[in-house]
Amino acid sequence: MASIFETYVNMLLKEMNTENLKPIMSMDNASKMQHFNLIKKKKKIDSTKKIELNILTLLKGRYGMDVDVNFGLDASMSVDASKLQQSSLNIQFVRIPPQVWKDLQERKTLEKEPSFLTQCRKRRENLYVVTEILILTKKTTLHEIRHGNATAKCLKFTSTKLTLPKGTVMAYRRKQLVLSAKGWDFQYLQEKISNEMEALATYPKNLQDTLFQNILAMLGDRGALQNLIDMLENPSADLDGPGSIILNELRKHARDLSTPSEYHIICVLDVLMALSNTQRDLLATSIKMRILVQQRELVRSILEPHFMYTQSSPFTLPPDLLTPLGDEGVDITYGLLQECGLPMEPDSPASVWDAEVKGPLSVLYGAISLLQQLADP
């Protein structure tokens, strides 16, 4: 049964309906989560995301910890649910300014790599950096009332309350950490994606088909994707719709797979969740047009030669990669690139690389690659 803290966090994020916010699932992490924290996500299914060191400990030089407080959501938000009583949450986002990230990208790493980073590299574990946190702006008491067992004369209730201090972190946003130094370059990204594609390729064809068809059905529904991730990480109840079909098929094949199937499915879903709503809609159209292969090569043609660039650099998309897409396919692909932050003009193959687009383009490249693997196993 979910704790009162976890219940409130989940209902808060559902009411806010804000993209890419990750819930804090325990009070322990709520007190530890801060900007620049490194979070390690293990390959095995584990609901606890281990907080490692701070990213600043990897870099030479000293840095200020100034962050940008955005008061766009600082009004009191009441969580409306029958079992939650007398509670409201005053919250605000605290963000790291974009300029800070640009400065950090230009810094060099320490000559001696920390041991935990070396271990993550060897084990192919993903590391993420906390870029934004959602905090309480004042001390808050959470109330919860649950129905108990009924007797012949009355219905019993149990009441629980939890007091949270000001500054408690309720949720966060993250970015995957990719270090250019010591080999974490495009080839490292390609290796990670290829490993996931190879893992998916080991699935029975009917399982791959089921995954593909039902993930496609959920691409336009971010909530359904998140619900499936939650269920894979912490099985507690049954889902409806496409997510339920995927879960049932995974259970059928659980004994046939050499590694836990949930991990690789969660990797696919995590990548898709990192896309914008617009990108997921455009990819759904791309799948129906069967242009994922061409799009993958086009994105790679941008990423591979520019991956290590920290400065702006103009480039032109190769005509031989644009022509197979057709006019409609080019428009869709330009839309995907624009959502990554690349300036694209209709009827023009010219654009400008900026270090800020490396992360979103890497996510897009991974999403197209994994969807293509499922589409054509």
pLDDT digits (tens, 9 = 90+) for 247-304: 888 888 777 665 566 778 888 998 999 899 999 999 999 999 999 999 999 999 999 9
Q: How far from each other are the two terminal CA atoms of the chain, in whole angstroms?
A: 39
* pLDDT score, position 48: 43
Its pTM stands at 0.61
163 pLDDT more than 90:
no
Q: In Å, how far are 8, 64, 98, 229, 233 from 12, measured between CA atoms?
A: 6, 31, 26, 18, 20
Q: Which two tokens stand for residue 37?
A: 């924290």
Q: How confident is the model at residue 130 (pLDDT cuts 50, 70, 90)?
A: confident
Q: How confident is the model at residue 16 (pLDDT cuts 50, 70, 90)?
A: confident
Least confident of 43-47, 197-201, 348-352: 43-47
Pairing mode, strands 169-176 and 22-23? antiparallel
Residue tagged 């694209």 (tokens): 344
Can you give the length of the chain in residues? 377
pLDDT in tens, 78-121: 444 333 444 567 788 888 777 776 676 666 666 666 777 777 76
Return d(Cα 180, Cα 104) in angstroms, integer.
Answer: 12
Catalogue the long-range contacts made by 66-70 (C-beta closer than 8 Å, 24 or more residues apart): 66/97, 66/100, 67/35, 67/94, 67/95, 67/96, 67/97, 68/94, 68/95, 68/96, 68/97, 69/93, 69/94, 69/95, 70/94, 70/95
Query: What is the residue extent of each domain of the chain?
Result: 4-181, 187-375
Among 43-47, 126-130, 224-228, 261-265, the range of highest mean pLDDT? 224-228
Q: In Å, how far are 149, 155, 156, 159 from 152, measured between CA atoms?
A: 10, 8, 11, 21
Mean pLDDT on 193-218: 91
* pLDDT score, position 153: 44
Among 165-169, 189-193, 254-258, 319-323, the range of highest mean pLDDT? 319-323
Mean pLDDT on 215-219: 93
Those residues with Cβ within 8 angstroms of residue 249's Cβ, 6 or more apart along the chain or in another chain: 206, 207, 210, 211
* % of the chain beyond a pLDDT of 90: 29
The CA-CA-CA angle for residues 95, 282, 375, to 5°, reads: 115
Q: What average pLDDT does the chain have?
A: 78
pLDDT in tens, 57-90: 666 554 444 444 333 333 334 444 333 444 567 7
* pLDDT score, position 373: 93
